[in-house]
Structure 1
Amino acid sequence: MHKIFNSFIGVLFLVLIPQLGMVAAEEFDLAINNGRVMDPESGLDAIRHIGIIAGRVVSISEQALEGERVIDAEGLVVAPGFVDIHEHGQSEESYRLMVQDGVTSAFELEVGTAMVADWYNDRAGGQLLNYGISVGHIPIRMTLFNDGGRFLPTGAGGSAIAGPEMLDRMAEMLRQGLAEGAVAVGFGLAYTPAATQAEFEAMLAVAAETEASVHIHTRDGLEGLRQIIGSANNAGTPLHIVHANSSGGASIGEFLAIIQAASDSGQDVTTEMYPYEAGASDIASALFDNWETWEDDRFARQLWVETGERLTRESFARYREIGGRMISFSRTEEMTRTALQHPLTMIASDGRILEGSGHPRSAGTFSKVLGKYVREEGLITMMDALRRMTIEPANRLQGFVPVMENKGRIRVGADADITVFDAETILDRATYVNPTQPSMGIEYVLVNGAVVLDNGELNTTIRKGTAIKSN
C-alpha cells in the first residue's frame, strides 16, 4: 500500500507540476536558484532551479523561480541530502555535527535496539534530521542475558550460549521489533562470539519473514565473510556488510572481491566504508579479548578517547576494567583508497560522539570524501561519490522501508532533503584530538523542506526531521 501511495503521489506531481516550473511563483515556499543540480539517480548535472512546496520538490526548472524565500546557489552544488546508513550517534550532539556534514537522514543499523517502539518514542516531537533504527541481535542478547554493558556486551551477552528457549525468545523479540517499525535487522557477530552459526541462521530466518535487510559486522576474516554471504543467500535475506574497510583490513581487496562475486551472481548484497585509517570501539568488547597476546607496539596504536593518550600494556589493562571508547590505528591509507575506489562501497560514518569525545568520522566523513578524495586527489568523481552517499543507501533500505523511495534523490515528488555545498571549499575539519570540529563548505541543508543549515549557520530551532520506519 505504501508503494502504491508513493507512486500515486509521484505521478500526481508529474501531472500537475511539470518539471519546467509551471507553478505560479507565489506558490513556492522556497526556491533554490542557479545551482549546479547533481542527482545520481537520473544523472542530471546541470544548472537548474528548484521549487519546493510543503516539504517536497515540485519543480526542477531551466528558468529561475520565485517564492516566499529564494536561495541563490550560484557557484554551489545542489545535491540530495546525504543518507548515513551507519551512524551510532543517535543524539542531539551527534545530529548537530551530522547536519553540518550534509547529512539529512541517519540510521543506526549495526547495533540497533531491542526496544524499537521506545527508541522512536524517545525521539518523538521533531529532530534536526530524519532518523531510523534496526532491531538488533546484540541488544536483544544483552537484554536476555542481563549483560551490563553500556553499548556493547561486556559479559554474558557476548559470551553465553543460547539454548532452544532463549533462541525462541530472541526470535520473538526480533519479530516484535520489526512489527514496531524497525527498518532492518542488525548483527555484530564479532561482538557476540558465543552466538553459534545455528543461532545466526535462526535469526536470519526471522528476518526473511519480511523484506528487511540484515546489516552485519562480520567475524572470522575472509572465511567468516563467505559463510555469512552463503547463509544470507540460503535464507533469502538482503545483506549489507558494514564497514568493509575495517573488517577487511589488510585483506580489503580480497574482502571486496568476495562481496563483488556474490553480487555478480545475483545475490542482493551491498557494503560500505568510512574514509579513515583508524576505527573505534569499546575497549571491553570481545574484539579485544586477545589483548594479552599483543606485541607492545600495538598498544601504542590505541588512543583512549576520554584523555587523548596513547596506551601502554598497563594502561590498556586498567581502562579495560573501567570500560570506554578507544580509537585503534590499524590500517593504511592505501587500504582506505582501495575500499573507496570499489564501486560497491557506499559511504557511511560508523560515527558516535558522546559528551564531546569520539572519532572524527562522526563530524567529517562526507566532507572528507568530497574535499580530499574528490577535489584534491581525483580518486573518484563527484557524481560517483554522491551516488554512494545518497541514492545507493536509499535503495538499500527502500525495499522494506517505502518512504526511502523519496529520499536520496532530487526529482519532482521527492522529499526536499537537500544539501548545498561549495565544491571548491568543502572539507572535513574534525581531528582525532578535536573530533567535534564541524566541516566547512556546506552552506545549506534542507530537511523535509526546512532550512536547518542556513548560509553555514546551524539553526537548532528548526526540527522537521521525522522518524523513518518500515510501517
Structure 2
Amino acid sequence: MRSFLSFLLFFHVSHCFAEEYDLVLNNGRLMDPATNLDAVRHIGIREGKIAAISETPLAGKETLNVKGHVVAPGFIDLHAHGQTTSDMQIKACDGVTTALDLEAGVYPVAAWYRSMEGTATLNYGATVGHIAARFAAFHPGLEIGHWAVNRAKVAGLGAKPDGANKRATDKELKLMGDAINHGLDEGALGIGFGINYTPAAAPSEIESMFRIATERKVPAFVHTRAFGLAAIQEAITEAKTAGAALHIVHVGSSAIGAMREVLKLIDASKAAGMDISTEVYPYTAASTVLESAMFNPGWQDNLKIDYGDLAWAATGERLTQESFERYRKQGGWVIIYMMKDENVEMAIAHPGVMIASDGVPFIDGKGHPRGAGTFARVLGHYSREKKLLPLMEALAKMTILPARRLEGYVPMMKGKGRIALGADADITVFDPTTVIDRATFESPTAPSAGIPHVIVNGVPVVRDGNLVKEARPGRAVRITP
C-alpha cells in the first residue's frame, strides 16, 4: 500500500512537472547576442513568454528536441513592406518573427492596425507615413493606408499626382503635420519617409516634419531624396538641424558606390553624439514600382543606371525605352540592378549596420527574393560560406540591434530580440551548417532551408520545416496611445 501511494505521489508530481510548460525546446545551442551566451540550454515556454532557461532538460505539454540546432531570438525585420498574411508566411520561413514597415509606413494609422487584427502570422507594426500623409494633404479625402500595398489608389491620380510632384504651401504643411501628429497619437512607431517618392517635398518641408519627430521623441526612418553621398548628407544635416533621431534605410542602395564614405559619415555623426543608424539587405538589386515619382525624368542620373538595368518583375524581361514607357503607364514592380556586391558586403560586415529586407509585397508569386531569403542569406552565404562576419554578430544585426533601436520609446520591444526570462517567446531555430536562402529572381518566394522551427509568442508558425498555415499569433507592435 505504501509503495502504491508513493507511486501515485510520484505520478502526480511528474504529471504536474510535465504540464508546467506549454512548449519546451531541449538540447539546443542557445545563441543570445544580447548577452553573448553561446551554450547548450533547454527553454521552457509558458503563456507566450520564456519561463525557463535551464542547464538540464525540461518537460512540458509539447517538447521539441533541437539538438545540433541554434536556438536564437526571432529575427526582427524593420523594413517589411509585405504586410499581408501570405507575405508574412513567406517571411516566417526565413526566421522572421516581427515584421515592421518603418520606411513607407501607413496613414491613417489606427484603421490600419485594426485591419491587421487576427490576420498576422508575425508581430506587425508601422510608422506614420509621410508619403500617405502628404497625399492626404494634397488630395482631400484620399486615405491610402499602407502605400506599399495600396499603390493603386495613387496610380488612379494620374501620371504626376500633386501629392508627389507639387510643392507644399503653408496649408498643406499644416495638414501634413496634423496628420503625422494624429498618427503618432494612434501609436505609430515613428515617422517614415520616402523622399525619393515625393520629389517636390523641399528640404524645409522634410526638416519641419523632422521637428515633429524631435518633439514626439521618435526617430525618422528615411529613404533619402536621391542615391549617393550628397543625398545622405542632406538627410543627416536636416536631422541634425531639427535635433531628430535618424535611421537611413537600405544603405546598400542608398549609398550605391559611395559606401565607404557613407559609412564613415554615419560613424562620424554617431561619434559626435547624433542618434543615427542604418540597415542593409544582402542583394545587389533593388525593387520598386515603375509608376512612382522615382522614375520621373532624370531617373537615370539619380539611380546611375539605364533602361537595360531594369527588369519587369512579372516576366523577368529587361526593359527598353519602349517597354519602359509602356509598363510605366500600366504600373507594376521592377527589379533594379544598381549595386555591386563589394559595397553590399562592406555594409553587411560593418559594425552596427542592421539587417532588414525591404521586402515588397509578392504579386502572384512574383517579386524580389529579399522578401523571402534575406536573413537565411546573411547567415548561410555571407556568414558561413564567405566568413564575412561571425555568426553571433550576424544574429545581433537581426535581433538585439533592431530591438534596441526601438525599445527606448516602444516599451514592448524590450521583450524582443533576446532569449531571457520573461521575454516574448519569439524564437527561431536553425541548423548553422545548412541554413541558406533558396529564393531567386526566377523563384522569389522559395522558402529558406535549414530553419525547422519558428515560434511567435509561444506558438509555432513553422514546425519541422513546414509552415503552420492556420497560425495567426502575431500581435501589434505600437506605442500605446
Q: Could you tell me the TM-score, scaled by structure 1's length?
A: 0.92
Contact 1:302 1:310 in 2 (8 A): yes
Match of 1:10 in 2: none
Contact 2:32 2:418 in 1 (8 A): yes
How big is the shift at 1:150?
A: 2.8
For 2:262 and 2:352, locate their aligned partners in 1 and report how far apart those are by CA, in whole Å.
12
Seen in structure 2, the aligned counterparts of structure 1 residues 311 and 407 have a Cα distance that, compared at 3 Å, is: same
For 1:388 and 1:250, locate their aligned partners in 2 and report how far apart those are by CA, in whole Å.
22
Aligned pair partner of 1:299 in 303, 307, 310: 307
Name the stretch that deviates more: 302-311 or 363-372: 302-311
How big is the shift at 1:335?
A: 1.3
How big is the shift at 1:202?
A: 1.2
Aligned pair partner of 1:41 in 34, 57, 64: 34
Q: Counterpart of 1:397 in structure 2: which amino acid?
A: L
Which is higher, the Rg of structure 1 or of structure 2?
2
Match of 2:96 in 1: 103
Q: Counterpart of 2:283 in structure 1: which amino acid?
A: Y
Contact 1:296 1:313 in 2 (8 A): no
Aligned pair partner of 2:45 in 22, 44, 52: 52
* Structure 1 residues 308-345: Cα deviation after superposition (integer angstroms, max 9, x where no partner): 21111111111111111110111111111111111121
Contact 1:296 1:312 in 2 (8 A): no
* Structure 1 residues 172-204: Cα deviation after superposition (integer angstroms, max 9, x where no partner): 000110011111110111111111111111111
Q: Counterpart of 2:65 in structure 1: which amino acid?
A: D
How big is the shift at 1:290?
A: 3.0
Seen in structure 2, the aligned counterparts of structure 1 residues 297 and 175 have a Cα distance that, compared at 3 Å, is: closer
Q: Secondary structure at the match of 1:199?
A: helix
Aligned pair partner of 1:121 in 99, 108, 114: 114
Matched, 1:389 2:395: no
* Structure 1 residues 217-258: Cα deviation after superposition (integer angstroms, max 9, x where no partner): 012432232232122223232210000000000111111111
Aligned pair partner of 2:412 in 399, 403, 408: 403
Matched pairs, number: 449
Q: Secondary structure at the match of 2:72?
A: strand
Aligned pair partner of 2:372 in 359, 363, 368: 363
Name the stretch that deviates more: 297-306 or 347-356: 297-306
Match of 2:179 in 1: 173
Contact 2:232 2:254 in 1 (8 A): no
Seen in structure 2, the aligned counterparts of structure 1 residues 236 and 296 have a Cα distance that, compared at 3 Å, is: closer
For 1:73 and 1:297, locate their aligned partners in 2 and report how far apart those are by CA, in whole Å.
47
Matched, 1:245 2:247: no
Q: Secondary structure at the match of 2:152?
A: coil
Aligned pair partner of 1:196 in 177, 197, 202: 202
For 2:63 and 2:339, locate their aligned partners in 1 and report how far apart those are by CA, in whole Å.
45
Match of 2:296 in 1: 289
Aligned pair partner of 1:451 in 443, 452, 460: 460
Q: Counterpart of 1:57 in structure 2: which amino acid?
A: I
Q: Counterpart of 2:351 in structure 1: which amino acid?
A: P
Q: Counterpart of 2:89 in structure 1: which amino acid?
A: R
- RMSD between aligned residues: 1.8
Seen in structure 2, the aligned counterparts of structure 1 residues 287 and 151 have a Cα distance that, compared at 3 Å, is: farther
Aligned pair partner of 1:130 in 123, 130, 135: 123
How big is the shift at 1:291?
A: 5.4
Q: What does residue range 190-229 of structure 1 map to in structure 2 within 5 Å?
A: 190-220=196-226, 221-229=228-236
For 1:302 and 1:217, locate their aligned partners in 2 and report how far apart those are by CA, in whole Å.
20
Match of 1:9 in 2: none
For 1:462 and 1:325, locate their aligned partners in 2 and report how far apart those are by CA, in whole Å.
29
Q: Secondary structure at the match of 1:57?
A: strand
Match of 1:320 in 2: 328
Name the stretch that deviates more: 241-250 or 224-233: 224-233
Matched, 1:335 2:343: yes
Q: Counterpart of 1:261 in structure 2: which amino acid?
A: A
Aligned pair partner of 1:265 in 254, 262, 272: 272
How big is the shift at 1:123?
A: 0.9
For 1:48 and 1:395, locate their aligned partners in 2 and report how far apart those are by CA, in whole Å.
24
Aligned residues with identical type, % of pairs:
46
Contact 1:111 1:136 in 2 (8 A): yes
Q: Counterpart of 1:398 in structure 2: which amino acid?
A: E
* Structure 1 residues 400-438: Cα deviation after superposition (integer angstroms, max 9, x where no partner): 211000011100010000000011111111111111111
Contact 2:92 2:122 in 1 (8 A): yes
Q: Counterpart of 1:264 in structure 2: which amino acid?
A: A
Match of 1:150 in 2: 152
Q: Could you tell me the TM-score, scaled by structure 2's length?
A: 0.90
Match of 2:442 in 1: 433
Seen in structure 2, the aligned counterparts of structure 1 residues 440 and 406 have a Cα distance that, compared at 3 Å, is: same
Contact 1:138 1:152 in 2 (8 A): no
For 2:347 and 2:259, locate their aligned partners in 1 and report how far apart those are by CA, in whole Å.
7
Q: Secondary structure at the match of 1:321?
A: helix
Matched, 1:93 2:100: no
How big is the shift at 1:126?
A: 4.7
Matched, 1:421 2:436: no
How big is the shift at 1:87?
A: 0.6
How big is the shift at 1:293?
A: 6.1
Seen in structure 2, the aligned counterparts of structure 1 residues 50 and 117 have a Cα distance that, compared at 3 Å, is: same
For 1:358 and 1:421, locate their aligned partners in 2 and report how far apart those are by CA, in whole Å.
25
How big is the shift at 1:30?
A: 1.1
How big is the shift at 1:364?
A: 0.2
For 1:24 and 1:126, locate their aligned partners in 2 and report how far apart those are by CA, in whole Å.
34
In structure 2, stretches of 5+ residues that fail to align are 1-15, 145-150
